[in-house]
Each structure stands twice: as C-alpha cells, then as structure tokens.
Amino acid sequence: MKRWPKSLEVFNNAYLNCPVWSNEKKLKEQDVIKVYATHDLINFLNIN
C-alpha cells in the first residue's frame, strides 16, 4: 500500500481498536483496521 502523509496518524488512532471514518479507497483495501465510508455510517445509523 502506498503511504500518504496522514496514513501514520490514521493507523496510530485505529491501533487502539477504534474504527476510522474515511472515504479514502486505499484505506478500504487493507485489513489491519476497520474503515467506514460515509455510506456505511448512513446505513448503520439508518439515516435516509
């Protein structure tokens, strides 16, 4: 996975077992941390 400037911050926060809210497609391609896109949160919260 190609690294971008904020990737380390994201992974450090998620390492504490906290999911990440991001629409970054590259983050969804990994399986180390759980990543929720906006549409995932809308579905989870039943917001229509």
Q: For the chain, which residues make up each domain, given as ranges?
A: 7-44
Q: Report helix, strand or coil for 14.
A: helix
Return the closest-CA partner of residue 39 out of 30, 31, 25, 29. Answer: 25
Position 6 scores a pLDDT of 63
Position 48 scores a pLDDT of 67
d(CA 18, CA 21) in angstroms, rounded, equals: 10
* Digit-coded pLDDT (tens) for 4-45: 556 666 666 666 677 888 898 888 888 888 889 999 999 999
d(CA 38, CA 8) in angstroms, rounded, equals: 21
CA atoms within 13 A on the CB side of 23: 4
d(CA 12, CA 22) in angstroms, rounded, equals: 15
pTM greater than 0.75: no
